[in-house]
């Protein structure tokens, strides 16, 4: 094979791998973009999965980071922007969703941090209680934006003021990645482990 043919083969393989990586992923009928832009940073899909409650599909969760992370500690240590995206697969009472997040939050947050986290937890509760119900297909995101804080958005619109405490975002991530996650299989999927 000539040098130019080898170069073309390598270039073609590289272009195919880039186009495959950049293709949106479909999960339970929900399209997940990869990569995404958040506050001027390009984030890649670290992992995604479906949250089940008993046999029912509840939502699709997707974790976006600036570099791949295979452990919860690596996710927490990432200093750049981060996002968890939740798209509902069934209608949910927002108040019940907020209560389940609060319970999982409390079960996984370090006791030493709880007093600093309570104001953020109250703000998060207010966001969900104001929404009443969230229909199937509804999307909300929880973003960590350095210098701004944790931003909770519904339909792409920020809800309330950002929560400034850096510990709050990691405490939110522990809902899915902590020692008592909402769903063990989903935890592995968010960390990029094949199911």
User: Along the chain (195 residues), what's the average pLDDT of each consecutive run of 10 residues?
Assistant: 48 43 80 95 97 92 97 95 97 86 87 86 84 91 96 92 90 94 94 81
Note the pLDDT of residue 9: 47
Note the pLDDT of residue 54: 87
Note the pLDDT of residue 112: 85
Q: Does domain 25-190 have CATH number 3.40.50.300?
A: no
Note the pLDDT of residue 40: 93
Note the pLDDT of residue 184: 94
d(CA 133, CA 145): 27
pTM of the full structure: 0.85
Note the pLDDT of residue 14: 43
Note the pLDDT of residue 15: 41
Sign of CA dihedral 117, 158, 39, 14: positive
Q: Could you tell me whether strands 36-38 and 41-53 are parallel, antiparallel, or unpaired per DSSP bridges?
A: antiparallel
d(CA 28, CA 137): 11
Q: What is the 3-state secondary structure (H, E, C) of 12-59?
A: HHHHHHHHHHHCCEEECCEEECCCEEECCEEEEEEEEEEEEECCEEEE
Tracing tokens 């479906």 back to the chain, one arrives at: 50
Take residue 76 and report the two structure tokens written for it: 């927490």
d(CA 64, CA 143): 9
Which pLDDT tens digit goes with each residue over 108-153? 988 888 888 888 888 888 888 888 889 999 999 999 999 999 999 9
d(CA 177, CA 49): 13
């Amino acid at each position: 094979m000539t040098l130019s043919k080898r170069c073309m083969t390598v270039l073609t393989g590289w272009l195919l791998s880039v186009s495959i990586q950049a293709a949106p992923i479909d999960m339970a009928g929900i399209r997940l973009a990869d990569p995404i832009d958040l506050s001027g940073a390009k984030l890649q899909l670290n992992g995604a999965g479906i949250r089940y409650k008993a046999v029912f599909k509840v939502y699709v969760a997707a974790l976006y980071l600036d570099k791949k992370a295979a452990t919860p500690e690596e996710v927490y240590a990432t200093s750049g922007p981060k996002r968890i995206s939740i798209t509902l697969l069934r209608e949910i009472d927002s108040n019940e969703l907020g209560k389940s997040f609060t319970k999982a939050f409390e079960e996984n947050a370090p006791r030493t941090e709880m007093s600093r986290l309570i104001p953020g937890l109250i703000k998060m509760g207010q966001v969900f209680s104001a929404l009443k119900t969230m229909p199937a297909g509804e999307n909300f995101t929880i973003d960590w934006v350095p210098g701004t804080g944790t931003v909770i958005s519904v339909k792409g619109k920020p809800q309330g003021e950002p929560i400034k405490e850096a510990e709050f975002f990691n405490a939110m991530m522990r809902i899915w990645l902590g020692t008592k996650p909402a769903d063990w299989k989903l935890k592995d999927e968010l960390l990029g482990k094949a199911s």
